[in-house]
Structure formats: structure tokens, C-alpha cells
Amino acid sequence: METNSTQQEILLLTGTKFSSRQWCEKDETGNTNPLSEYEQLQQACWNGLLEEMLPEIYLRNQDKKLYLWSIREGKSFLELELGEFPASIDRYHSIDPYAFLETQSYN
């Protein structure tokens, strides 16, 4: 018997006003190397701020608890994989441009 599970991919584009917001807490240790935009966004997602950043994702899936399983870094985006449990993503149906472009047939 097959069970239905929820999996979701999210692309967060970098180089936008949304991604350049100050998501992470200030570095109190006096570190002189500030985090890059990618690193700040990744750290905010891993620290549980995704629900605050994108509440509509969690409102739509109120009946199921989604967990962040991985973050992949692209040239101008971060791809987040959410789901009830870790599972492989079907590359053909993925929104990751590096994944689905490989599966396209060219004439």
C-alpha cells in the first residue's frame, strides 16, 4: 500500500531585496569576517526562521509537519528541500534548473 507524503522544493533567489535582508543575529564575538548573503540566508533557514520568512508555506501544510532536510547552493539561488522525511527528488519534476535541464530532450 502506497502512502502519500509531502515533499516541497523552494528556490530562494539571491541578489534580491528579500535575500539581502538581515536575517541572522548580529555577531557578538567581534568576528571581522561578515557572512555572505548566501551564508546569512542558509544560517537563517537552518536556525528555523523559514517559517517567519515564508509563513504561507506552513499555512498551506498545517496538517503535516515539514522539516528542512537540505540546502543546495546554486549560482544565484538556494534550493531548500522540505518534507516529512528525507526522500530523493525526482529530477524530471524538480524546480532546480541544474536538475531538470539535464532531462530535457533537445531537437
Is 99 within 8 Å of 90 (Cβ atoms)? no
Could you report the average pLDDT of every consecutive run of 10 residues in the chain (107 residues)?
73 83 58 73 88 80 80 89 82 74 58
pLDDT at residue 62, as a whole number:
67
pLDDT at residue 28, as a whole number:
56
pLDDT at residue 24, as a whole number:
52
Instruction: Report how far residue 14's alpha carbon sits from residue 52's, in angstroms, rounded to the nearest whole number.
Output: 18
End-to-end CA distance of the chain: 40
Q: For 56, how many CA atoms within 13 A lie in the half-sphere containing its CB?
A: 1
pLDDT at residue 103, as a whole number:
56
pLDDT at residue 29, as a whole number:
59
Q: What are phi and psi of 98, to 5 degrees?
A: -70, -25
At 70, which helix (H) or strand (E)? strand 67-73
